[in-house]
Amino acid sequence: MTLFEKLIRRELPADIVFEDDEVFAFRDIAPQAPVHILVIPKKLITRIGEAGSGDVNILAKLLLTAAEIARELGFAENGYRLVINNGSDAGEAVPHLHVHLLAGRKLTWPPG
């Protein structure tokens, strides 16, 4: 069981920002920006590279949920970044697909 599955099951504490039947969003415990929220599917998809055609709706919902959170928290107008890491070389630390929602300061490019 992944760390994120334990958070979804409330076996570990989380600062929850959004939840419905399919998606769970919470503040990252090691933020890389003033606002750092992780948006995850409740269904375990190990990483984006392992998602299949049957995952199209949940993948779209992850992105749309992140955008809605940005609007609701008031930083959509100034901008935000969405990041999905795939594999250890990309910085993936938890094998459960997640979208990083980063905001609250001017973000530089390139990121890595």
Active-site annotation, residues: 98
31 within 8 A of 88, measured Cβ to Cβ: no
* Count helices and strands in the chain by DSSP H and E runs: 2, 5
For residue 79 the two structure tokens come to 């901008």
Cα separation, 22 vs 13, in Å, equals 19
Residues 6+ apart with CB under 8 A from 55: 43, 45
